[in-house]
Amino acid sequence: MNIAIYGAGGFGKETACLIKRINANGGDWNLIGFFDDTKQAGTPVSSYGTVLGGMDALLQINEPLAVAIAINDNKAVRRIRESITNDHISFPNLIDPSLFYVDKQTVTMGEGNVIQNDCMISCDVTIGSFNLINDHVVIGHDNTIGDFNGLMPGAHLSGGITIGNSNLLGVASVVLQGMTIGNGVTLAANSVLMTTPRDNCTYLGVPAKKFDF
């Protein structure tokens, strides 16, 4: 099936590499190019393809097309998804073949998730939609993750964690067992979350504390 990537930046290129890895392991995606509102149509995206246009061009597609939204900004991902009203567009989960499941049969997942290389998902895990899960992320047992979250490289989630929507967990951040994260929380790189955070706030440090800009 034809697939395009929304976002022609670095994460878009990495997602093109992910599609190549999936195809090398039995997948059958045909990457036709990229959509991006900040670049002109015809702009090359490294060796992976060219920009086909922006949102207006995507909304005019009149045949089935899978789209991966590959932008490391969860607010932008939500905005783009809400703008795509074309019924011909679908949003597959793109999962690197290296993903290790402790028990795949107990893992459920929505749509539009992008999971990069060398991640681990344990048992009894529920993942919503349009989450960007970067490389070497560990998701422990009995975790529930909502929609539009960004898990940066090396983030580690212990067991029994509940995460809402539109949160950003920074590079090599850690969330200890049993924590509940609501919505709009940013956990800075290398921070360890040990207490319940307030919505729409940033937490930094070991242990992570609320940071006021």
- Per domain, the residue ranges of the chain are 2-92, 95-205
Regions of the chain with pLDDT less than 70: none
Residue 101 CB neighbour total at 10 angstroms: 15
| DSSP 8-state class, residue 159 | S
Secondary structure class of 162 (helix, strand, coil): strand
The C-alpha angle with vertex 132 and arms to 129 and 133, in degrees rounded to 5, equals: 115
Which SS3 state, helix, strand or coil, does residue 7 take?
coil
Residue 135: how many CA atoms within 13 Å on its side-chain side?
9
Q: At 41, list the tokens.
A: 């149509």
pLDDT score at 144: 98
- pLDDT, position 213: 75
Give CA–CA dist 180/107, Å, rounded: 19
Give pLDDT, residue 86: 95
Predicted model pTM: 0.95
What's residue 192's pLDDT? 98
Report the alpha-carbon distance of residue 189 to residue 174 in Å, rounded: 9
What CATH class does 2-92 carry?
alpha beta
pLDDT one-digit tens code per residue, 84-119: 999 999 999 999 999 999 999 999 999 999 999 999
CATH code linked to domain 95-205:
2.160.10.10
Sequence-ordered list of residues with C-beta below 8 angstroms from that of 115, at least 6 positions apart, any chain: 93, 94, 95, 96, 99, 133, 137
In degrees to the nearest 10, what's the CA dihedral of 118, 17, 31, 149? Answer: 50
DSSP three-state, residue 22: helix
Pairing of strands 186-187, 162-163: unpaired
- DSSP, residue by residue, 33-94: EEE-TTS-TT-B-TTS-BEEE-HHHHHT--S-EEEEE--S-HHHHHHHHHH---TTEE---E
The pLDDT score that the predictor gives to residue 131 is 98
Give 79's contacts (C-beta < 8 A, 6+ positions apart): none
The answer to whether 162 and 144 have CB atoms below 8 angstroms apart is yes
Nearest to 20 by CA among 5, 35, 8: 5
